[in-house]
Amino acid sequence: MLDKKVTLNTLRAKKGKEKIVAITAYDALMAKIFDGEVDVILVGDSLKMSFGGENETLRANLDEMIYHTKAVCAGTKYSFVLGDMPFGTYATKKMALTNALRYYKECNVDALKIEVDSNKIDVVKALCTEGIAVMAHIGLKPQFMRFEGGFKVKGKNEVEENELIESAIAMQEAGAFGILCEGIKASVAQKITQSVQIPTIGIGAGVHCDGQILVWSDAFGFFDAFKPKFVRQYCDGKDMLKNAVRNYANDVKNAVFPSDNESY
């Protein structure tokens, strides 16, 4: 359990020394449970799938992200909170600045994450120049799911490998404080991690990244629409809760809840 607020410097200092632990959360209730147990809480646009029941992340909008990020920040004291810029909000440098400044200021969030490749170097540079801490998300970019016709693992050939390593270096030079590597061949994520001085956090990118992140509803067995290969499930949340709600329903139906002790 952490006893001090995680800052950018804490994360930087862990590079190559101690693994960074990250998880998503979308509300204050979960954030309070995860706070201090993990270094980073990401308010990911994955909330559209895990929380919103959709099959992709593209329909998340800035107002929704701000709403959820405020809730997570309200429930968090120690962990570093990372907000996720939704699809279409950083299409140009100008849009990125307007939207990121609003998100950063309204939520009091520690940093923002954007899905990038080498075409977005100017956007990352512009945000960092304004004092916004940026994490660059490379590899499998869920916001490109429609464009690419699915969730595609990256780094499978030399061209992709070189593009990923070059992007990561360019993001570091543009000012990004970290790289999120999603759906990247483990050997390539290892090379990315060795090629930059900033921390890498992986999801479906092997063990060599400087840290790992999972979507909370995958990690704790609440999301069962599909189970990606990279997910390790740490409890059977859905079944646990289903049993609990059945017990509650039975108690109500059998008039054994509330008891005298639970009544005024």
Q: Which residue ranges make up the annotated binding site for 3-methyl-2-oxobutanoate?
A: 45-46, 84, 113
Q: Of 124 and 203, which CB lies nearer to ligand KIV in the complex structure?
A: 203
Per the annotation, binding residues are 45-46, 84, 113, 115
Kindly name the residue from 64, 173, 182, 262 that is annotated as catalytic. 182
Nearer to ligand KIV (CB atom), residue 44 or residue 175: 44
Shortest spacing between CB 260 and ligand KIV, in angstroms = 46
Phi, psi (deg, nearest 5) at residue 148: -95, 0
Identify whether the C-beta of residue 144 lies closer than 8 Å to the C-beta of residue 115.
Answer: yes
Minimum distance of ligand KIV from residue 257's CB (angstroms) = 37
**Residue whose CB is less far from ligand KIV, 46 or 69:** 46
Residue 182 bears catalytic tag: yes
Binding site for ligand KIV (CB under 6 A): 24, 42, 44-46, 84, 180, 182, 203, 213, 215
Count Cβ neighbours within 10 Å for each residue of 53-68 and write b for 16 or more, e otherwise: eeebbbebebebbbeb
- Residue 89 gets which letter from DSSP? S
From the CB of 213, what's the least distance to ligand KIV, in Å? Answer: 5
Residue among 189, 88, 96, 92 at smallest CA distance from 146:
88
CB 164 within 8 A of CB 139: yes
Nearer of residues 6 and 85 to ligand KIV, judged by Cβ? 85
User: Least distance to ligand KIV from the beta carbon of 139, Å?
Assistant: 10
Query: What is the CA angle 85-182-174, rounded to 5?
Result: 55
Q: 20 phi and psi, to 5 degrees?
A: -95, 130
Which residue has its beta carbon closest to ligand KIV? 44
Find the distance separating the first CA and the last CA of the chain, reported in whole Å.
38
As annotated, the binding site for Mg(2+) includes 45, 84, 115
Q: Return the active site residues.
A: 182
